[in-house]
Chain A
Amino acid sequence: MKRTITLTVNGAPRSVEVEPRALLALVLRDQLDLTGTHIGCDTSQCGACTVHIDGRAVKSCTMLAVQAEGHAVTTIEGLAAKDRLHPLQQAFWDKHGLQCGFCTPGMIMTAADLLAHNPKPSEAEIRHALEGNLCRCTGYQNIVAAVQLAAGAR
């Protein structure tokens, strides 16, 4: 049975009608048109679907939309200020931290959680924090470099 839930998405209150089984990742993409949140594996492995719930990075393919009721969701679309990229987005650009770009929204959301809780992480801490995000293209090196650059730029 569908029900209407209200949540904050990227700072703005939104209401959507959802079935309990609707995954947050699908509702963000199909009902709220926020297609920056990607779906890769569907089984809580790859991290492409990472979003923030009240500031903590989680996998939105493993969470029901109804669980987000009353909470603040941030997606990749919510990071940039009007026409200025978020420092992490800029750093991924500058350091060539992406190739196909499929993993990038999830990488950046996870890295943003890391930097919010640990503004000056070591390389090892960055790698550890990104463990739940898989990338098939870059070999991770430039992703780590991008996060280091963003941490330095803050």
Chain B
Amino acid sequence: MLRLPSFTYLQPRTLHEALAMKTDAGPDGMYVAGGTDLYPNMKRRHQEPRTVISLMGIPELAQIGMRNAQCGIGPCVTLTTVSGHPTIRDDYAAVAHAAGLVSTPLLRNMGTLGGNLCLDTRCNYYNQTYEWRQAIDFCMKKDGHICWVAPSSPRCWAVSSSDVAPVMVALGADYVLVGPGGERVVPAARFYHNDGINYLTKQPDEVLWEVRLPRPDGWDAVYHKLRRRDSFDFPVLGVAAWVRWEGGRGTRDEGRVAEARIVLGGVASWPQEVPEAGAALVGTDLSDEGVAAAADAAYRPAKPMDNTDFDLSWRKQMTRVYVSRALAELRRRRLPPAR
């Protein structure tokens, strides 16, 4: 029986209250949303907050709204709601799709968008019970000094395993953060750090307040996920592909790719954008040659470590396959029926 350590549980009703509680709790305080990442982690003593501050009682954080034709999603909206919401399904299908691929229905009823975007990084040597980790001696991500994946490495290589984060980076979404010092808006790409321990640029006392999606004005995006089972499992590779068509999506005279972004999940400690892959697509109509060039460009820098499911070299090879599949889907969707 894995028990949670003892802690104080606080339920603020306003953001202001939440920030004050975090200030009082200091470094021993942590925010929680759905708890589907944090509570299992606390059972394994990955995180040991003395004070847990729930954000689920703050009504503004659980809303989805439109402002200036931009969709804003509150971080405490559940993944079930994100994946089923009509606006998100129609205009941000890749977001709805990625949210619907997270874990299983029961966890999507509890797990939130914000928790998914702030998800702890993962590693086979870390996502184990305290006793397991103690038995091989702890690693530097928690309680130890060495990295068992790369023993001579000065850093931790735990893997960014969120399904939705790569999509947010590919879309160019903005995250609104609020801390004691006020509000700031950070592009999704700059919210993440390529470090298994310090994987977010967010300060511990900042609350993710809103996720702002760009207007659906002539771009399209897809997400493809590799995992062992078609359910439950975290991505061992995620591919988010985004393109802006010249002339806009679905118009008669649309032709070629004006701009593109390819972002990989599950291969680094952050959602990894591969600019060379995007660049290889510009000016093409996603022809087979263009797709192959982009897939090759994405394959090269993908550097999965031996710390998740599946054979390392096979996972790297799959980058090429999954990028190609994602781009083939974008090509098929190029001329959707007029709405």
Chain-A contact segment, one of B106-114, B145-153, B274-282? B106-114
> Is B36's CB within 8 Å of the partner chain A?
yes
> Closest residue to A69 on the B side, CB-wise?
B11
Do residues B106 and A50 form an inter-chain contact, with CB atoms below 8 A? Answer: yes
CB < 8 Å neighbour of A57 from B1, B6, B109, B231? B109
Instruction: Scan B1-23; emit 1 where CB is below 8 A from any A CB, else 0.
Output: 11111111100000000000000
Do residues A44 and B40 form an inter-chain contact, with CB atoms below 8 A? Answer: yes
Do residues A131 and B231 form an inter-chain contact, with CB atoms below 8 A? Answer: yes
> Closest residue to B78 on the A side, CB-wise?
A56
> Is B284's CB within 8 Å of the partner chain A?
no
Q: Knowing A62-B39, A64-B35, A67-B54 are in contact, say whether A21-B107 is a contact too (CB < 8 A).
A: no
Instruction: Scan A115-134; emit 1 where CB is below 8 A from any B CB, else 0.
Output: 00000000000001101110
> Is B132's CB within 8 Å of the partner chain A?
no
> Is B232's CB within 8 Å of the partner chain A?
yes
The distance from the CB of B156 to the nearest CB of chain A, in whole angstroms, is 22
Cβ–Cβ < 8 Å partners of A43 in chain B: 2, 40, 43
> Is A149's CB within 8 Å of the partner chain B?
no
Do residues B5 and A62 form an inter-chain contact, with CB atoms below 8 A? Answer: no
**Chain B, range 25-82, C-beta contacts under 8 Å to A:** 35-36, 39-40, 43, 52, 54, 56, 80
Interface size class of A (residues with CB under 8 A): 20 to 34
Do residues A132 and B104 form an inter-chain contact, with CB atoms below 8 A? Answer: yes
Cβ–Cβ < 8 Å partners of A39 in chain B: 1
Do residues B35 and A132 form an inter-chain contact, with CB atoms below 8 A? Answer: no
Cβ–Cβ < 8 Å partners of A20 in chain B: 6-9, 52
Q: Knowing A20-B8, A62-B39, A67-B54 are in contact, say whether A132-B2 is a contact too (CB < 8 A).
A: no
Do residues A1 and B8 form an inter-chain contact, with CB atoms below 8 A? Answer: yes
> Is A23's CB within 8 Å of the partner chain B?
yes
Inter-chain contact count A-B, CB under 8 Å?
Answer: 71
Do residues B2 and A131 form an inter-chain contact, with CB atoms below 8 A? Answer: no
Q: Knowing A42-B2, A62-B35 are in contact, say whether A110-B106 is a contact too (CB < 8 A).
A: yes
> Is B194's CB within 8 Å of the partner chain A?
no
Q: Knowing A131-B231, A132-B106 are in contact, say whether A19-B6 is a contact too (CB < 8 A).
A: yes
Q: Is the interface of A mostly helix, strand, loop or mixed?
A: mixed
**Chain A, range 88-135, C-beta contacts under 8 Å to B:** 110, 128-129, 131-133
Do residues A64 and B106 form an inter-chain contact, with CB atoms below 8 A? Answer: no
The distance from the CB of A17 to the nearest CB of chain B, in whole angstroms, is 14
Cβ–Cβ < 8 Å partners of A47 in chain B: 104, 106
Bound CA span A44–B2, Å: 11
> Is A58's CB within 8 Å of the partner chain B?
yes
Do residues B9 and A58 form an inter-chain contact, with CB atoms below 8 A? Answer: no
The distance from the CB of A53 to the nearest CB of chain B, in whole angstroms, is 8
Cβ–Cβ < 8 Å partners of A44 in chain B: 36, 39-40, 107
CB < 8 Å neighbour of B107 from A42, A59, A128, A129? A59
**Chain B, range 129-187, C-beta contacts under 8 Å to A:** none
Cβ–Cβ < 8 Å partners of B39 in chain A: 44, 62-64
Instruction: Scan A69-93; emit 1 where CB is below 8 A from any B CB, else 0.
Output: 0000000000000000000000000
Do residues A21 and B105 form an inter-chain contact, with CB atoms below 8 A? Answer: no
CB < 8 Å neighbour of A58 from B3, B40, B109? B109
Bound CA span A129–B2, Å: 27
> Is A66's CB within 8 Å of the partner chain B?
yes
> Closest residue to A49 on the B side, CB-wise?
B106
Cβ–Cβ < 8 Å partners of A45 in chain B: 232
Do residues A42 and B231 form an inter-chain contact, with CB atoms below 8 A? Answer: no
Bound CA span A23–B106, Å: 16
Bound CA span A43–B231, Å: 16
Bound CA span A63–B1, Å: 15
CB < 8 Å neighbour of A62 from B52, B105, B110, B231? B110
**Chain B, range 206-249, C-beta contacts under 8 Å to A:** 231-232
Do residues A131 and B105 form an inter-chain contact, with CB atoms below 8 A? Answer: yes
CB < 8 Å neighbour of A132 from B1, B4, B56, B232? B232
Cβ–Cβ < 8 Å partners of B8 in chain A: 1, 20
Top 5 nearest A-B pairs (CB, nearest first) are: A132-B104, A20-B9, A131-B231, A21-B4, A132-B106
17 contacts between A and B (CB under 8 A): A20-B8, A20-B9, A21-B6, A42-B1, A43-B43, A56-B80, A58-B109, A58-B110, A59-B107, A63-B39, A67-B35, A110-B106, A131-B104, A132-B105, A132-B107, A132-B232, A133-B106
Supplied contacts A62-B110, A131-B104, 4 more A-B pairs, CB within 8 Å: A39-B1, A62-B35, A129-B105, A132-B104
